Structure 1
Amino acid sequence: MRPFRREDQAEARRIILEGLGDHFGTIDQNMNHDLDDIMTTYTKAGHEFVVAELEAWMVGTGALLYEDNNLGRIVRVSVNPNFRGRGYGEAIVKHLIRLGQKNGLGQIVVETNHDWNSAIELYQKCGFQPYERDDESLYLRMDLGIEQQLVPV
């Protein structure tokens, strides 16, 4: 796991869009503009964007947005289809949780499509609990109270 670098742009964007396409069937070209310049949107804006690697291959991505001093939001978790089912998604999410803990967040939230079962299972496996649902999305959160220990790898 390492921080995003500018040279990761094309592959990170491809992995994320491919994951969305696999789930939704199509990609809405009017959405996902944050992926046009990941460095500016995430890293230079003070957020975390990480990539998971296996040898020379980028196998996944994920980001942690700092919404305020206490609240973070996990977004853009995606794993290359050739590497799904091997624990990379869980490793990415747990890494982002640890970053949030180290930076003093009290809570992390995540939103996913309410019928994206693999994503829901991933977040629940990592300790997130559902707290709200609407017509399209399920919202999950994790409280990172000061008494909680760091999430194990």
Structure 2
Amino acid sequence: MNTLVKPKLAMLDLVTVRENGTVGEALNIARATARHVENLGFTRYWLAEHHNMPGIASSATAVLVGHIAGATSRIRVGSGGIMLPNHAPLVVAEAFGTLAELYPGRIDLGLGRAPGTDQQTMRALRRDRIETEADFPREVAELQRLLGPRQPEQQEGRPGFM
């Protein structure tokens, strides 16, 4: 007789602002929701990155990941995902490397290559740097290097988190 394996459940939250609600209320609801699904046995709570979109309060994804991780105790918390064209790999490595140190074994970093916003906002995020699909693999490799173990040839004071 086959026994059923209990599936692992995860949640992706856009942190939507309810009609006539505030961003603060949306953030409080996200925190309460994360606590609730953690108590239900969910294993992951991910936050989506969207910028300059009325009704969505998840633009500062790394900040929200820390907010949710600080309000929970076991559930893994992460990004679903950080849109790498919007951020320098070093900035992502520093933010998520710090979160991983604050909440060991509980932080996930999901990545995406879409801008997650309109062209004007994308230019404001990365200034004059315009990304192409060809940049994504190189930036993922740079992020892996920055978050990975220090190599013997790397200097002590090198940029990056680790």
What's the TM-score bracket when you normalise by the shorter of the two chains? 0.3 to 0.5
The structure with the largest alpha-carbon Rg is 2
| TM-score, normalised relative to structure 1 | 0.33
